[in-house]
Chains A and B, each alone.
Chain A
Amino acid sequence: MSYYKILIVEDDPVIREQLRLLLAGSGYQAQAVADVPAAIRQMESFGPHLVVLDIGLPGASGLELCAQIRSVSNAPVVFVTSSNNDLDELNSILLGGDAFITKPYNPAILLARIASLLRRAYPAAGEELLRWKGAVLHPESGKLEYQGRTVELTRNEQKILWYLFKHAGTICPRADLIDFLWDNQLYIDDNALSVHVSRIREKLNAIGLEGFIQTRHRQGYLI
């Protein structure tokens, strides 16, 4: 999926490990360190594309580390802190931080922030197309193409198909799919999801993609 490398600097062992797992699960190469000296070493040897930085580190503050990072790298820095006071936020911006997120954060929001910072810092050449079994999804123009025939998708249909394409070949549990849709501002329940999927199926049938989305009873959808 993605080759981006992310460095996590976090002193709490559980958060450090779980955040690493979360990022690894989202297709990033993630490494996690607990303190400032290790972080500086990793900046050189690992060369991350983005740093997730806790402000309240033992010893030195994350803000100082940010200034040090800035002297060697232009990688975006996401600050994470449990003290939501505005002075820290202001300092983090002044020192070159790119985003400021307060604990307890919503993991989906953190991931969205990371993805958008990476997109901005490292603009990809052209549109990322998603392909599976001969069907091509154009996420930006909202079209699905199959054997020269295209169909227009609504924004909501696009979101559902994007998730299925990203997890092509695996069964997507309905609850996970709904989680994803909620994170993307489509607030639907189980029944509404079924309605949306059946509409997508009609559109797919019209361009000859029959049986593209399969329903696995009690498990979810599979393409």
Chain B
Amino acid sequence: MKHWRDRLPAVVVNLLGLTALVLFLLAGGNGPGTVALVAAVWLGVLAAWLAGSCLLEKRRLKALLAQAEQLDERYLLAEILPPPATAEEAVYRRLMQMAEKSMLEQVGTAQRERREYREYIEQWIHEIKTPITAGKLLCENDRSPLSREMLAQLERITHYTEQALYYARSEHTEKDYLIREIRLADMVHGAIADNKYLLRQNRVEIMAEEMPGTICTDDKWVRFILDQLIGNAVKYRGPSPRLRFASEERPGQICLMVEDNGIGIPAADLPRVFEKGFTGQNGRAVHSSTGIGLYLCKRLCDKLGIGLEITSREGAGTAVRLIFTVNDYIAGAI
């Protein structure tokens, strides 16, 4: 009972007063019976006040805590509190409101700065795409071993810029997608075409099996994911790299498998590959690891409702499965 302790000074003052009164009454020649009665009444009233006020206080504070629990943004608490009961509470209330105001200002500034930075990054990425496109066209119009090497590097630059764009955007993807019916094969061949020079310069053998399925999803997000997976397969390639694309139909699902025969991921690192910034053992061996690619893939897949599974054996290769749910509505209509 902490509330009881708050009342301690009042109780002590009361007891002192009672003692003084008892002494005064006894000195005035009152009988012990009368004095005991007066003292009993005093103590009774004191006890009743103590119990009653503690109980009320306890109930009130409990209600406040419950109210705060329900609030999503607790820093707005000062706004919803009941009117202050005492002068002291009124002062504390003003202090809380001052703290809240200054914090809201700080949060607002931070949010604005963050948004402006993100907008700048997005704008920058759109601008960098113009020179990349110009570079690609220049190389395409003057094909030579050098320009092919250059095109492979331009594809790498594209990977990194796209990664930055999707990183900047990944928190508000819900505003930015267009779901369409896409043939799985078109999407895979498109992704291979986008990485043509990178794959050829690194002598990656491509095995693209028949992929008859159709999926409903956002083309550019999935293309981005495939780009990152292809980029990883090239980055962590083995001595005679091979990349296989295959699809597998399961009841209610279409699964796209991207399998390489690269250096693989150690079993200890595997559970953590989707963590942001995690590079693991391979990251220490290959210096261009960022720990961002797979993290973004996972994040986008979660937002798009695509399953993402990864299996790997160290030294033997890695297989990534993208699992698309086939729309029941469409399947049910047939």
Contact = CB atoms under 8 A, between A and B. Distances in A.
Interface of A: 12, 14-15, 18-19, 21-22, 25, 56, 82-86, 89-90, 102-109, 175-176, 178-179, 182-183, 185, 187, 189
Interface string B134-151: 101110110101001000
B26 interface: no
B196 A18 contact: no
B234 interface: no
Contact of B137 (A18, A56, A84, A185): A18
A84 B208 CA distance: 27
Nearest to B178: A86
Contact of B178 (A22, A25, A90): A90
A84 B138 CA distance: 22
A51 to B, nearest CB: 18
Given A86-B218, A103-B133, A183-B196, 19 more contacts: A14-B138, A15-B130, A15-B133, A15-B137, A18-B134, A18-B140, A21-B137, A82-B133, A84-B220, A86-B177, A89-B178, A106-B193, A109-B193, A178-B200, A185-B189, A185-B208, A187-B192, A187-B199, A187-B208
Interface string B117-137: 000000000110110111011
A170 B65 CA distance: 85
Query: Nearest 10 CB-CB pairs, A to B?
Result: A187-B206, A18-B137, A82-B129, A14-B134, A104-B132, A86-B178, A104-B133, A103-B129, A103-B133, A107-B140
A13 to B, nearest CB: 9
A108 B176 CA distance: 27
A8 to B, nearest CB: 11
Interface in B165-213: 176-178, 189-190, 192-194, 196, 199-200, 203, 205-208
A19 B126 CA distance: 19
Nearest to A108: B193
30 contacts: A14-B137, A18-B140, A18-B141, A19-B137, A22-B137, A56-B126, A82-B130, A83-B126, A86-B177, A90-B178, A102-B220, A103-B133, A104-B133, A104-B136, A105-B136, A107-B136, A108-B193, A108-B196, A176-B143, A179-B143, A179-B196, A182-B193, A182-B196, A182-B200, A183-B193, A185-B192, A187-B192, A187-B199, A187-B205, A187-B208
Contacts of A18: 134, 137-138, 140-141
A18 B134 CA distance: 7
Interface string B33-59: 000000000000000000000000000
Contacts of A175: 143, 145, 148
Q: Do most interface residues of chain A lie in helix, strand or loop, or is the interface mixed?
A: helix
Given A103-B132, A109-B190, A179-B196, A25 B220 contact: no
Contacts of A82: 126-127, 129-130, 133
A189 B194 CA distance: 17
Given A86-B176, A179-B196, A22 B134 contact: no
A62 to B, nearest CB: 14
Contacts of A90: 178
Q: Do most interface residues of chain B lie in helix, strand or loop, or is the interface mixed?
A: helix
Contacts of B203: 189
B140 to A, nearest CB: 4
B154 interface: yes
B186 to A, nearest CB: 10
B132 to A, nearest CB: 4
A189 B205 CA distance: 8
Contacts of A19: 137
Give the interface centre of A18, A83, A179, A183 by most chain B CB atoms within 10 Å.
A18
